[in-house]
């Protein structure tokens, strides 16, 4: 049917968004927590918090949910000190540069992605990944990790991963 997203007539995922994947806003234009599917990848509209270290982010940086209320409120931080200290909860990969706290943006949560930083540890292809103790990074999972697995390396030399972060 004309004017419909493919699949919407059959009850599929209908999509209509104000912002592009690399756009940011100081106001919540999409509805915080909204998810989006494009080109076999899932994205989530979140609120950015630069944290106690006042960190900026660029496309490809990995962010975690703010400790305690971040997942519920879709609020993310690049500073691991502001994520849960015991078991940080990985959120996803940033799609655009952000320098101002309380900025709204899309992060990728599922699908193939390229990271800005190598995963910490000794990464190789097909390694499970968790949130890292290093700001803006993922880490190679070890047997003693209690964090959730939020991705796998697909081509370590190119910093390519497959993400599988919670919605």
Regarding pTM above 0.85, the answer is yes
Cβ neighbours of residue 18 closer than 8 Å, sequence gap 6 or more: 29, 30
Extents of the domains making up the chain: 31-164
pLDDT in tens, the chain (167 residues): 344 344 444 555 667 899 999 999 999 999 999 999 999 999 999 999 999 999 999 999 999 999 988 999 999 999 989 998 777 899 999 999 999 999 999 999 999 999 999 999 988 899 999 999 899 999 999 887 767 899 999 999 999 999 999 88
Please state, in angstroms and rounded to a whole number, the distance separating the CA atoms of residues 88 and 124. Answer: 22
Report d(CA 157, CA 153) in Å as an integer: 10
């Amino acid at each position: 049917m004309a004017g419909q997203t493919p699949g919407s007539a059959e009850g599929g995922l209908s999509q209509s968004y104000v912002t592009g994947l690399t756009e940011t806003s100081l106001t919540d234009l999409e509805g915080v927590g909204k998810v989006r599917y494009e080109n076999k990848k899932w994205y989530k509209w979140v609120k950015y918090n630069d944290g106690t270290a006042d960190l900026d982010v660029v496309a490809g940086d990995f962010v975690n949910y703010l400790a305690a209320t971040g997942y519920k409120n879709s609020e993310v931080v690049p500073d691991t000190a502001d994520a849960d200290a015991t078991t940080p909860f990985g959120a996803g990969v940033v799609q655009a540069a952000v320098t101002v706290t309380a900025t709204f943006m899309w992060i990728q949560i599922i699908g193939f992605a390229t990271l800005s930083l190598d995963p910490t540890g000794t990464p190789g292809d097909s390694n499970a990944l968790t949130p890292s103790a290093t700001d803006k990074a993922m880490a190679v999972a070890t047997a003693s990790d209690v964090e959730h697995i939020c991705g796998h390396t697909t081509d370590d030399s190119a910093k390519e991963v497959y993400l599988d972060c919670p919605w």
